[in-house]
Structure 1
Amino acid sequence: MLTLLGAFLLSSVVMPVLVRWMGARAFFIAALIPAGAFVHALMLTPQVLHAASAPYESVEWIPQLGLNMSMHMDVLGWVLTLIVTGVGALVLLYCRWYFHDDSVGLGQFAAVLLGFAGAMYGLVLTDDLVMLVMFWEVTSILSYLLIGYYRRRAASRRAALQALLVTTLGGLVMFVGVVLLVVDAGTSSIREILALAPTGPIVDAAIVMLLVGAISKSALFPFHFWLPGAMAAPTPVSAYLHAAAMVKAGIYLIARFAPIFAFSGPWRPILISLGVFTMLLGGVQALRETDLKRILAFGTVSQLGFFSVVIGYGTQAAALAGLALVIAHALFKSALFLIVGVIDRQLSTRDVTELSGVGRQAPVLAVTAFISVASMAGIAPTIGFVAKESALTALLDDAQGGSVWGLVALIGIVLGSMLTAAYGARFLWGAFFSKRDAQGERMPDTAWPGPPLGFVAAPIVLAALTLAAGIGAPALDAALQGYAVTATPGLDHAGEAAEGPGHLALWHGLEPALGISIVSILLGIGVFLLTRRTGWERRPRVLPFTAADAYYAVVRAIDRLSVLSTTLTQRGSLPVYVGTIFVVFVAAEATALLASDIDRIQLSAWHTPAQIAAAPLMAVAGIFAVRAQKRYTGVVLVSVTGLGMVALFATSGAPDLALTQILVETVTMVTFALVLRRLPSRMGEHNASVGRIPRALLGIGVGVTMALVAIVATQSRVAEPISTLFPKLAYELGHGKNVVNVALVDLRGWDTMGELSVLVLAATGVASLVFVTHRADLLAATKTLPKATRRATRSRPLVETTDGIRFQTSENRSSPRAWLVGGTNMKPENRSILLEVIVRILFHTIIVVSIFLLFSGHNLPGGGFAGGLVAGMALVMRYIAGGRWELGAAAPTDAGRLLGTGLVLAVGSAVVPLFFGLAPLTSRFWEWELPGFGHMEFVTSTIFDIGVYLVVIGLVLDVLRSLGAEVDRQAAALRSAQDASTPSGTDRPRGVSI
C-alpha cells in the first residue's frame, strides 16, 4: 500500500513529460496506476474480510511524537479504495477522448488529477489521524487546481477559490478537533482510538470540530454552495471529485467514527438535522436548474445529505445500508456526470431548453442514463434500490422502536426520495426527450454526431456495475457485514436491541419499506410533471438570499475590514509603522507581565566588575545616538553599544561570542558607511506627526518591557534548561570542546540551517534592490566581447578600469606591478600608498587566519561564522584600499555562487545521513595518526561549518558588490553623464562626492 502511494506520487511527477510526448493518449498510462491499485485491493479481499488478518503497513515518521505513516485496509477502507481507484481509472481513460492533444495545460491537469487520486488513496487507508489531516488538505489544494483548470474564465477561478476557502476552513477546524482527540486518547492511531472509544467534554468538542470538517468537505448545509459552483471544472473532474472521491472524504470520516461516536451528545442532532435539510434543499434547487451538470450537482448535494443521515445514524443496519448507498452513488452519479460530458462535447451545450430528441439518436447513451437514474431513484434491480430499501427499513425499525431521531430521519428521507425521483426524471427529460417550443410546436431533433465507442465506454461500465451489484446483493452483503457489526445494534419493532444488521437483498418480500419507496417514486414523478407544467425554474426563489450570498457577503466584509485596517495603519510613514508594532508589543507583553509573579523575581545588581562600567556606557551611548545630529555620529554611537556587549561576553566566559560580536559590529559599521555615504551627512528636520515626548515614552516603554520579559522568562522556568547539558553533549555527541560552535553546527544545527536561509535571502534582497538584472553584470558583459578576449577571461581574473573592462594579459603583466591592481585606476588624491602596502601584506595572512578559525572552531574560539566574517573583512580592506576595481581582482567570482555552494554543503551534510538510516545532521567522528602531523581528527559537521563559512563570505561580498562597487559604478556613470551635458567652461554642479 505504501509502495502504491509512492507510485501515485512518482507517476504524477512524470505525467507532464508523457503528455508532452504522447498527447491525450498519455491518459492510458495514467490509468494504469489506479487500475493497479484496484486490482491490488481485490487481491487483498480474503484478508480484508477476515478482520484478524486485515492488511497493515507502517513506517516511522516522527517517532518522538508517536506519528507513523501507517496504512490499514479494513472493510470500510477497502470499499472506499475500490471506489477511488476503480472510478479513477475509468475517468482517466475517459479523459483520452474528452481532451484534445493540444488542450492547454493538459500535462499539469493529468499530473494533478493523478496526484489527487493518490491523495484520496492515502486518505481512506491511513491509520494515523495526523496523516489523514495532511491528505485531507492535499485534496483541497489539488481540487483547487482541478476546478480552476480553465484559468482564463473568471467563473472557474472564482469557483476554485471558493471551494478552497470553504474546505480549507473546515479542514483547519477539523485539525483542532484531531489534536483534542489525539491528546485525550493518547494516540493518533485510528484503530486504537476506535478501540478506546473515548468520552467526555473534550471528546464532545472534538466531535463537533470533526463534523465541521466533514460537512464542509461533503458539501452539507451551510457549506453546500461550493459544490454547484465547482461545476465550472471539466466534466471528468466533476465525475471523479464530486461523485466518487472528494465529497466522499467527509462521508468517510463520518463512517469511520460513527460506530463509537453516534450516540455521543452532539453527533446525531448535527448530522440528522443538517443532513435532512441539505437533502431537501438540494432536491428543490435541482428542479430549478436548466443546466444538466448543475441538476446533477444539486442532486449530489441532496444525496450527500441522505448519506450523512443514514451512515451517521450509527446503528448496525444503518451502517450496512449507508455503505451500500456510498457504493451505489459512486456508480450512478459518476456515470451520469460522464454522460453529461459526452453530450457537452458532442453538442457544445448542456441546456435542457436546447436539447431535443437526443435519446432516439443515442439509444445506448439513453439506456445507460436511465439505468443510472433508476439507481439514483431507488428502482429495482439496481444497487440503489437495494441500498435505499435497506436504509428505509433500518430507520423505520428504529422509529417504531421509539427513537425520535429515527422518526425525523425517516420523514426527511421519504420527502427527499420524492425529490430525487423528480429531479431524476427532469434530468432524463432534459437530456434525451423531445420537447416543444413556447408555441406548442415540436422542436426539431438536435443533430447528434456519434461519439467514439471509447468515449462512452466508462459510463456503460459503471451502469453495468450498477445492475450487477443490485443483482449480486447477497455477495455484497457478505462483504459489508464486517463494517456493519462494528456499530451499535439498533432497535426492533418492540423497542428491543435488534439482532444483527440485517441483510442486503434484491427482494425482501412485501415490506413497508418497499411500499414507502414506491409511493415516493410515484409522488416524485408527479412533482416533476407539476413543476414542468408550472415553469418552476422561472419562479423567483423563496428565500431572499442563499448560503452563497452569505459567503460573498462575508468575503466582502473581510475586504472592507482589510481596507479599513490598511487605511488606519499603512499611512506611508515609517514612524507610524514602527510605532504601531511597538504599541502592540508593549500592550501584549505588559498584559502577560501583569498576570505573572513579578514580585517573586530575584535580581542582583551585577556579577562582574566589567558590567558596572560596560552597562552605563552602553546606556549613555544609546541616549547620545538618539540625540545625534550627524548620521555617522549616530552609527558610531550605536556601535559602542555593540562593543559593550563584546566586553560583557568576554568577561562572562564567552570568548567565542565576544569574537563573533566584534566581527559583526565591524562588518555592520562598514555596511552602514556604504549606505550613508549617499545620504546627507546631517539629519533632516524631523516633522513627525507624534511629538517628541510620546516617542520618548514609547521608547522607554519598549525598553522596560523587553527587559522585564527577559528577566521574567529566565526566572520562570519549570524544568531544568537543556543548555546545562550542552558542554557534556558537545563533547560526547559533537566531539568538540567549543560549546558554541558545536551547538551551531550539530546540537542546534536546524536553527543554523534556518539562519543560513535568512542570510541568503538577505543577500539576494540587497542585490535585487541595487542590480537591475544580475549580480554579475560585469561578468555577463564578457559574452559580447570577441572570442579571443572571452578565452582570456577563462584563465585571468576580470578587472574593471575607469575605461570599462580589461583583462590581465601578457602585455599588462609585463608592466611594473602596483601594490594593488585597483590602485592604478584611482585618482591620486583618493589613494593611500601606505594603506595599499598594509592591505597587500595583510590580506593573505587574514585569509589564512580565517581558515584557521574555520577548522579550529570545533575546539577553540572560532568556527565557520567567525572565519567567514574575518575573510569578509579582508575583502572589505581590499575594497577600501582599491575601490571597486580591487574588489573585482580580489574576488573574481559571483557572490551568488558562494552563497549557493555554501547552502548546498550545509543541506548536503543534513541530508546525507538519511541514506544511512540516521537522523538528519547526524555527525560522525574519525581520528588517526598521520606521519609528520601526529594525531588528526575529523568531524563531519565540519562540512556544515564550511557551508556556513562560504555563505558568510558570499553575504559580505554581495553587500560590497551591491552597496559598494555597483553604487560606485552608478555614481561614476551619473558624473560622466553630467559632464557630457555641461557646456565647456561651465562649472559642474556640486554634489555628494563618491
Structure 2
Amino acid sequence: MIALFRVALRAESSAAGAALRDREESPLLALVVAHLVVAALLPLVSARNRRAAFAVAAVLPAATLLWALAEAGPALAGGVTATTAWAPTLGLMLSFRLDALALAMIVLVSGLGAAILVYCVGYFGSDSSEAPRSAALLLAFAGAMLGLVLADDLLTLYVFWELTSIASFLLVGQGGEQGEERRAAVQALLVTVFGGLAMLLGFVLLGEAAGTYRISEIVAAGQAGSLHGGAVTAALLLILLGAFTKSAQLPFHPWLPAAMVAPTPVSAYLHAASMVKAGVYLVARLAPGFSDQAVWWVPVVVVGLGTMIVGGWRALSATDLKQLLAFGTVSQLGFLTVLLGSGGPLGEISALAGIALLLAHGLFKAPLFMVVGTIDHATGTRDLRRLSGLRTALPGTAVAAALAAASMAGIPPLLGFVGKEAAFEGFLDEGGLRGWIVALGLLLGSVLTAAYSARFLWGAFARKPGVEPTSVHRPGALLTVPVWICSIAGLALGIAYPVVDALGASYAAEYPDESGYHLAIWHGLGLPLLFTAVAIAGGLLLHAQRARVLALSSRSPLDAQRGYELTIAAIARLALTVTGRLQVGSLPAYLATILVAFVLLPGVATILGGAWPGGQPTYHSLTQVPLAIVVVIAALAAVRARRRLTAVLLVGVIGYGVGGLFIVDGAPDLALAQFLVETLSLVAFVFVLRRLPADFTEEPSPRRVRLPKALLGAVGGAAVAVFAIVMSGARTTPSATAAEFVRLAPAEAGATNVVSAIIVDFRALDTVGEIGVLAVAAVGVASLVLATRYDRRGRRGPVESGQNTPQHEEDLLG
C-alpha cells in the first residue's frame, strides 16, 4: 500500500494528459492467456488433490495484482497499453490498456480473487464433487474478467464479456443435478446474453459512427463533442441496456438473487467482487465521453436510484443471509451506477466517490459472503431466524463481519464512509433540481443500506429471544483469515485515503471540471456529514422497527421475478404458436416462409437503402442470352411438369445452364463443380424415383392457391435478382482481403488461380468440412438406395422386409 501511495503521488504530479506508453513487451495479453491456460490444466491437479487446485489457482491472480501495483506509476500517469494484431488486414486488433480504472478493477478481480480462492481451500471438502470444476472455472472466469477490464477495444471487450457470462452459467449451474441450479443458471445466462447482444449492436453503431473501435479514442471523441446523431443515441441506449443487465439493474435484477444457489465462494467472487461490476465498469469507462448527454445520464440516474432503493427495500425482508446480501449487492450496484455514470457539473467528485465505493464494495461485500459461508459450514444453516448466539460462539468472525458491515453502512473511518461522504458532497454542491433529487435519492438508499447492514449483523450473530443458541464447530483458519484480510483492507484504505484519492484522481481527471476536491476522513461540519449521520440513524431506526418493516416489505405489489417468469412463459407460448403455424410438414410452406422473410427484411432494406449501380449492361456476352433463355424456359417447364422424372431432368437443365453461364463468365473451375453436383444429384434422384410413382399423385392445386404461390415466387425471384445486382455493384474497388489473396497466392500457395488457392490452401479446413458434408449426403443417398435391398416378394405372401410395414412395401412396389 505504501508503495502504491508513493507512485500514486508521483503520478499525480505528472503533467496532465501524458502520452500513453505503448509497450509491446507489456504482458497484458500474456497474463490473460495464462489464466485460461492454467485453468485448462487445473483438472490435472484436482485429480491428485482437489484442495491443492484452489491453492495453485490463487497464485496467478496474486501475481497479477503484484504486477499491476508495480505498474501503478505509469498506469496513473496516463496508461500502459499493448496491442496485438489479430487480423491486421481486416483491422482486427487485441488492444489492452492498464489505467486507473482498470487498476481499481484488478484490485477486485485479482486481489479478491486470490483471497477467495484461498478461502475455497477450506470451504470445499477433499471429496467435494464441485471442487474440480469450480477451481478451473473460477480461474478461467478471473482470466475473462481480467481481459474485460483491460480491453481497450469494443470488440475485444465484448468477447471477454460473453466469456464471463458463460463461466457464470457453468458456475451457478454447477453439475446441473438440482432443478433450482439449472433454473438460476439459465436465467442468468438469458438475461446477460440478451443484454450482451443488444450491447454488441450498440458497439457496432458507436464504432462505425466514431470511425474506430478503440475505446480510449471513442471517449476522446465524445469529450470533443464530435459524436452526435441518431446512430450514437441508439448506440448509447443499447450499451446501457447491456450494462444494466450485467450489473442487475432494474428491471433485470432478479437473476442476481436467484444465482445465490451457487456455492458461497462463487457468490463472493462473481456476485460481489467482480462479474456484477462489469456493467458498472462499462458505464464508468464510457461516462467521461457521454455523461453530458441526456440520453446517457437520465437512464443512468433513474435506473440507478431505482435499483438502489428497491434492492435495499427487498433486503429488509430477506431471511436467508445470502439473499439479504444479494439484494444488498443489487442496491450497491445501483449506487455505483449513479456515481460512475451520471457525470454532471461536478462529475470529478462523483467519479472520485465512485472509485472509492467501487473498492469499498468489493472489500466489504466479499468478506460478508465469506462470513455467510463460514456460518453455513459451522452451523449448517443460513436462515437468520434459526441462528442465535454466534457472537459469543464465533467472536473473531463476528468482529470481522462487523468491520465489513460498518463499511457498508458508511461508518467512519472505513473506506465506505469516505466514498459515501464524497458522493453526498458531489451532488449537494451541484445543487439544482438534479443535484438535490440525486442527493436525496442516495440518502434514502443509504438509510436502507444501514438498515440491512444492521439486519445482517443481528440476524447472523445476535442472541434472539426464544431461539436456542446455535451449536457450532470451530471453522479453520482458511475460512477466517481471508475474511479478516478483506475487512482490514477496507479499514486500512479508509485511513490511508490518499492512496484511493490518487487512484480516483487519475480517473476523475478525464472530466473537464476541476473542483479541487480530495477524499478525506474529515471535511468539517456540513451537509454531507449530516446526510451520513441521518443515513446511519435512520437505518438503525428502521432496523429497530424490523417487525413492521418486514410486514410492509413482504407486501410489495411489484415482483420482477414474476415478471421474468411471465415473460419467459409468453415467449414459449409465442414460439409454440409460430412453430405450430410454420412447422406443418409442408415443403411449400417452408419455402414460402423463407421467401416472405427474405422479401420483407433484406429485400425491403435493399429497396429503401440500396443504390442501383449505374451503367449496368443487359449482358456481357452474346452467349449469355441463349443460356439464360434455356434456364428460364426449363424453370417454367419444371413448374408445369406432371411426371417426376421430367421435372428432375428439367431441374438438371437449369443447373447445367447455370454452369454454362459460369464458363462464359470465366469461371471454369466453378462450372466443373456445378456440373459434378448436378450429375450426382440426377443420379441420386433416379435411384430414389425408381421407388416412387412415375407421376405426381397429388391433385393440382386450385387457382386460388396457385396464384398466390406464383406471385410470391415472382416477387421472391425479383427480390433476389435486385439484391444480387445492388450488392455486387456496391463495391467499387477490390476489398483489402481480395487483394491480399491475390498477393499471397503465387508465393504462398504456388498457384496462379486465386480461387483454387483459396479453396485448397487458405480455406483448406473449410473445404475439408464441405467434403465431410458431401460424404454425409452420400451416405444418406446410399441408405435410401440400399434401404430395400433385401426386400423380396414371396411366391404367395406379402413383401418380406425389415423396412416399415408390408402394406407400405406393397404400395411402393405397386
User: Do both proteins adopt the same fold according to a TM-score greater than 0.5, normalized to the shorter chain?
Assistant: yes
What residue in structure 2 maps to residue 396 of structure 1? 428
Q: Which moved more, 1:757-766 or 1:242-251?
A: 757-766
* Matched residue SS, 1:246: coil
> Are residues 1:349 and 2:381 paired?
yes
What residue in structure 2 maps to residue 919 of structure 1? none
Provide Cα deviations, 1:724-765, integer angstroms capped at 9, x if missing partner: 98998698566545465345446xx44x75454244235336
Q: CA deviation at 1:615?
A: 4.4
User: 1:156–1:232: 8 Å Cα contact kept in structure 2?
Assistant: yes
Cα pair distance change 1:696/1:168, threshold 3 Å: closer
Q: CA deviation at 1:130?
A: 1.9
State the distance in 2 between where 1:581 and 1:264 align. Answer: 42
1:86 to 101, 104, 111: 111
> Are residues 1:481 and 2:498 paired?
no
* Matched residue SS, 2:84: strand
Provide Cα deviations, 1:847-896, integer angstroms capped at 9, x if missing partner: xxxxxxxxxxxxxxxxxxxxxxxxxxxxxxxxxxxxxxxxxxxxxxxxxx
State the distance in 1 between where 2:694 and 2:376 align. Answer: 72
Q: Which moved more, 1:224-233 or 1:620-629?
A: 620-629
> Are residues 1:524 and 2:521 paired?
no
> Are residues 1:32 and 2:59 paired?
yes
> Are residues 1:563 and 2:570 paired?
no
* Matched residue SS, 2:523: coil
Cα pair distance change 1:972/1:471, threshold 3 Å: farther
Q: Which moved more, 1:124-133 or 1:203-212?
A: 203-212
Q: CA deviation at 1:300?
A: 1.0
What residue in structure 2 maps to residue 501 of structure 1? 517
Provide Cα deviations, 1:229-260, integer angstroms capped at 9, x if missing partner: 11121111111111110111122222223333
State the distance in 2 between where 1:473 and 1:681 align. Answer: 89
What residue in structure 1 maps to residue 773 of structure 2? 761
User: 2:408–2:453: 8 Å Cα contact kept in structure 1?
Assistant: yes
* Matched residue SS, 1:219: coil
> Are residues 1:284 and 2:313 paired?
yes
What residue in structure 2 maps to residue 297 of structure 1? 326
User: 1:727–1:737: 8 Å Cα contact kept in structure 2?
Assistant: no
1:451 to 475, 487, 493: 475
Gaps of 5+ in 2: 1-27, 803-808
User: 2:793–2:799: 8 Å Cα contact kept in structure 1?
Assistant: no
What residue in structure 2 maps to residue 837 of structure 1? none
What residue in structure 1 maps to residue 406 of structure 2? 374
For 2:787, give the aligned amino acid: V
Residue identity over aligned pairs, in percent, reads: 40
State the distance in 1 between where 2:313 and 2:587 align. Answer: 56
State the distance in 1 between where 2:520 and 2:136 align. Answer: 41
Cα pair distance change 1:39/1:738, threshold 3 Å: closer
* Matched residue SS, 2:166: helix
For 1:71, give the aligned amino acid: F
User: 1:586–1:701: 8 Å Cα contact kept in structure 2?
Assistant: no
Cα pair distance change 1:745/1:273, threshold 3 Å: same
What residue in structure 1 maps to residue 42 of structure 2? 15
What residue in structure 2 maps to residue 816 of structure 1? none
Cα pair distance change 1:142/1:609, threshold 3 Å: closer
What residue in structure 1 maps to residue 13 of structure 2? none
State the distance in 2 between where 1:69 and 1:969 align. Answer: 58
Cα pair distance change 1:323/1:673, threshold 3 Å: same
* Matched residue SS, 1:435: coil
User: 2:638–2:650: 8 Å Cα contact kept in structure 1?
Assistant: yes
User: 2:596–2:716: 8 Å Cα contact kept in structure 1?
Assistant: no
Provide Cα deviations, 1:473-504, integer angstroms capped at 9, x if missing partner: 233333433223332336xxxxxxx3x132x2
Alignment of 1:526-565 (within 5 A): 526-532=541-547, 534=548, 536-539=549-552, 541-565=554-578
Alignment of 1:176-187 (within 5 A): 176-187=201-212
Alignment of 1:709-724 (within 5 A): 709=722, 712-713=725-726, 716-717=729-730, 719-720=732-733
Q: Which moved more, 1:702-711 or 1:378-387?
A: 702-711
Alignment of 1:778-817 (within 5 A): none
* Matched residue SS, 1:719: coil
Q: CA deviation at 1:603?
A: 5.4
State the distance in 2 between where 1:548 and 1:372 align. Answer: 29
Cα pair distance change 1:464/1:967, threshold 3 Å: same
Cα pair distance change 1:162/1:766, threshold 3 Å: farther
Which structure has more relative contact order (CA 8 Å, sep 6+)? It is 2
1:115 to 140, 158, 166: 140
Cα pair distance change 1:169/1:691, threshold 3 Å: same
Matched residue pairs, number?
771
For 1:286, give the aligned amino acid: A
Cα pair distance change 1:971/1:546, threshold 3 Å: same
1:60 to 85, 91, 97: 85
For 2:469, give the aligned amino acid: D
User: 2:84–2:95: 8 Å Cα contact kept in structure 1?
Assistant: yes
Cα pair distance change 1:968/1:234, threshold 3 Å: same
For 1:761, give the aligned amino acid: V
For 1:967, give the aligned amino acid: A
2:390 to 343, 358, 363: 358
Q: CA deviation at 1:587?
A: 5.4
What residue in structure 2 maps to residue 69 of structure 1? 94
Provide Cα deviations, 1:406-465, integer angstroms capped at 9, x if missing partner: 2112111222211111111111111111112xxxxx321011111111122211111121
1:216 to 224, 245, 250: 245
Q: CA deviation at 1:291?
A: 0.9
Q: CA deviation at 1:405?
A: 1.8
User: 2:746–2:752: 8 Å Cα contact kept in structure 1?
Assistant: no
What residue in structure 2 maps to residue 4 of structure 1? 31
Provide Cα deviations, 1:97-155, integer angstroms capped at 9, x if missing partner: 22223333432222221111111111111222221122112112211111212512222
State the distance in 2 between where 1:606 and 1:307 align. Answer: 64
Alignment of 1:971-986 (within 5 A): 971=791
Alignment of 1:151-170 (within 5 A): 151-170=176-195
Cα pair distance change 1:418/1:717, threshold 3 Å: closer
> Are residues 1:637 and 2:650 paired?
yes
Provide Cα deviations, 1:760-801, integer angstroms capped at 9, x if missing partner: 23533664xx5xxxxxxxxxxxxxxxxxxxxxxxxxxxxxxx
What residue in structure 1 maps to residue 219 of structure 2? 194
Alignment of 1:427-826 (within 5 A): 427-436=456-465, 442-489=466-513, 498=515, 500-502=516-518, 504-532=519-547, 534=548, 536-539=549-552, 541-586=554-599, 591=604, 604=618, 607-608=621-622, 611-612=625-626, 614-650=627-663, 654-686=667-699, 693-694=706-707, 697-698=710-711, 701=714, 704-705=717-718, 708-709=721-722, 712-713=725-726, 716-717=729-730, 719-720=732-733, 735-738=750-753, 740-742=755-757, 744-745=759-760, 749-750=762-763, 754=766, 756-764=768-776, 767=779
State the distance in 1 between where 2:676 and 2:480 align. Answer: 73
State the distance in 1 between where 2:286 and 2:597 align. Answer: 43
2:353 to 308, 312, 321: 321
Q: CA deviation at 1:992?
A: 6.4
> Are residues 1:247 and 2:272 paired?
no
Cα pair distance change 1:366/1:766, threshold 3 Å: farther
User: 2:317–2:553: 8 Å Cα contact kept in structure 1?
Assistant: no
Cα pair distance change 1:107/1:578, threshold 3 Å: same
Q: CA deviation at 1:707?
A: 7.0
What residue in structure 2 maps to residue 230 of structure 1? 259
User: 1:185–1:198: 8 Å Cα contact kept in structure 2?
Assistant: no
Cα root mean square deviation, aligned: 3.4
Which of 1 and 2 has greater Rg? 1
What residue in structure 1 maps to residue 419 of structure 2? 387
User: 1:396–1:410: 8 Å Cα contact kept in structure 2?
Assistant: yes
Q: CA deviation at 1:393?
A: 2.4
> Are residues 1:425 and 2:439 paired?
no
User: 1:127–1:189: 8 Å Cα contact kept in structure 2?
Assistant: yes
State the distance in 1 between where 2:777 and 2:248 align. Answer: 44
User: 1:368–1:460: 8 Å Cα contact kept in structure 2?
Assistant: yes
Q: Which moved more, 1:754-763 or 1:337-346?
A: 754-763
State the distance in 1 between where 2:662 and 2:286 align. Answer: 58
User: 1:262–1:268: 8 Å Cα contact kept in structure 2?
Assistant: yes
